[in-house]
Every structure is written in structure tokens, then in C-alpha cells.
Amino acid sequence: MGGSARGQRALDSDDIPSQSPYERLSQRMLDISGDRGVLKNVIREGAGDPVTPDASVLDITLCGMELGLLSMRKGELARFLFRPTYAYGTLGCPPLIPPNATVLFEIELLDFLDSAESDKFCALSAEQQEQFPLQKILKVATTEREFGNYLFHQNRFCDAKVRYKRALKLLHRRRLVLSEEQHLVEAAKLLVLLNLSFVYLKLDRPAMALRYGEQALLIDQRNAKALFRCGQACLLLTEYEQARDFLVRAQKEQPCNQDINKELKKLSSYYKNYMDREREMYHRMFAPCEKGSSVGRN
């Protein structure tokens, strides 16, 4: 679930004049908590279904905001008043929010993910899933991938990996009949494989990152992201020749990509340092032998 707070103002509940703008505003607002602790006024209507009542709101610390989000639709912009018990309570949030303050928020719900439907579907057996149309499979796989993306951006890489693997498992299970289905499933697999390759790089497991990157290349051998991920993985594995091959191929696909060009420069630096260490090691290994043979000849 995603949203954006677009402003926050604190109101001291003990000092609000009876005719203050905020008091007049509260009289026109809808009570969504049942005790007038959370009041709502819709500024712009949203579209589609509202957030499901049993949805989980992640990374939200105010219970008033959670109640507010659960009352919204995608794209909706609304203004909320949260009384102290639904906001920062007796402690406040110094230095901006004093104790026992009522706060005003404007919230825009950009998008949300309904993982409940996905969780129920993933709990079905392979035979039961097979009874559903392909579009259902693709929708659930997309939800899993997008939820993984959300977790990835929260730096929860292990949790993101689990979601990506669930999506890939769903797509692997699908028995394909028509060529059009093959195309749709392969396109969905490609996105998940790229995400898996990236998340394993973040987890410092380059061998697994390389594995999933190479699987992505089996679907699209010219995919610049897949080539780039494989190049990064090989560089971490100190497979410099292989890293160069992947990165040069990626550069051919996207010559102006700064990330690819930076990685090639990094590879060049690493390889130079590697060769310098190799020369130094061989010099130390053979220098005594050369000195001894010279003495023997004399």
C-alpha cells in the first residue's frame, strides 16, 4: 500500500477558538472513527474499489492515518483531522508537534497492493491454480512482483526475494497451450528474473545473481539489464574475462548508459590491480631461483 502525506499542521486542542478555521472545517468533515477522533473531507474523488477492510498498512505509525488510508480509493486526495489519541498523544513530536495536539493531514493515495487475493491464490494447489485463466495467473504474479519491489525499496531484500520467487513459481507452473500465452508468460518471467538477479546482488550472493541473470538471457539474449547484472555478478566473482564479455555486450545495446560505462571502468581498474598482484606474486616466487642459478653459473 502506498500513499503520500502532503502537509501537516498541529493544532493545540486546549487553545482552539470556537470559530477558528479548523473548528469550522471539522464541522463539515465525516466522522470515520465513530468518536470524532478521525475526521475526513474528500478533496478529489478516487477511482476503483476502496482499500479492503482487512488490508495491512505498512510503515505507518499513526493509527489515525491507518484508519484514514483504509477509507480511501486509488487516486483519492483527502484532508484529515486526527485528535491527539489518534495522532501523537500526550508526548507530541517535538519540536514541531506539541503534546495533546490535533493534527491536520492532506493525504493522496497513489496506489495500493491487495496481497490478500494473492496470498489466497498462492495457497491453492497447482491443480487448483490450473483451473483459473491465464490473466488471473499474470495478475497474481504481477502483484507478488510489485509487492517484492515495495519490500526491495524498503531494503528488506530477503522478504523481497520471497515474493519474487513466489511470482516465478506461479509462472513456471502454468501449462501453456497457445503461442500467445507463451509470449505473455515469458515477458512476465523476464521481469521477475531481472528482479531476482538484482536482489541477490544486494544480498551479496553473486553466484545466484548470475544464475538468474543467465535465465533472463535465455528469454532475451540482448536484454541490457540482464547483461549488466551478469557482468556485475562476474565482477564480484573475480571472473574478469566473463564480466568484460557481459558488460561489453550490454554497452553495445545501450552505449550511453552511465551505469554500464562506470562498471566497465571499475572492471578495468580491478583487472589492472589483479594483474599487478599476479606479477608481484610471480616475481617473489621466481626471484630466489633466478638468484641461485646465477650464483651456480659463476
Q: What is the CATH number of the domain that holds 86?
A: 3.10.50.40
**Is 161 found in the same domain as 252?**
yes
Residue 18 lies in a domain: yes
Whichever domain contains 160, its CATH number is 1.25.40.10
**Is 239 found in the same domain as 218?**
yes
Average pLDDT for 160-183: 86
Confidence at 297, pLDDT banded by 50, 70, 90:
very low
**Is 245 found in the same domain as 163?**
yes
**Is 124 found in the same domain as 145?**
yes
- Give me the percent of the chain exceeding a pLDDT of 70: 81
Q: Write the pLDDT tens digit of every residue in 100-156.
A: 988 999 999 987 776 777 878 888 888 888 888 889 999 999 999 999 998 999 899
Confidence at 281, pLDDT banded by 50, 70, 90:
low
| The pLDDT of residue 288 | 59
Residue 118, Cβ density class (10 Å: 0-12 exposed, 13-18 middle, ≥19 buried): buried
**Is 94 found in the same domain as 209?**
no
**Is 103 found in the same domain as 139?**
no
**Is 147 found in the same domain as 199?**
yes
CA 113/CA 51 separation, integer angstroms: 9
Q: Are 73 and 47 in contact (CB under 8 A)?
A: yes
User: What's the domain range around 50?
Assistant: 2-111
- pLDDT over threshold 90, residue 219: yes
- Total of domains in the chain: 2
Q: Which of 78, 111, 144 is the last residue of a domain?
A: 111
Nearest Cα neighbor of 74 from 18, 113, 104, 122 is 113
**Is 57 found in the same domain as 39?**
yes
Residue 278 lies in a domain: no
Residue 241 lies in a domain: yes
Residue 58, Cβ density class (10 Å: 0-12 exposed, 13-18 middle, ≥19 buried): middle
> Could you tell me which residue, 30 or 113, shows the higher pLDDT?
30
Average pLDDT for 271-286: 66
Considering only 43-57, 80-94, 145-159, which range has the smallest mean pLDDT? 43-57
Residue 285 lies in a domain: no
Provide the mean pLDDT of the chain: 84
CA-based radius of gyration for the chain: 29
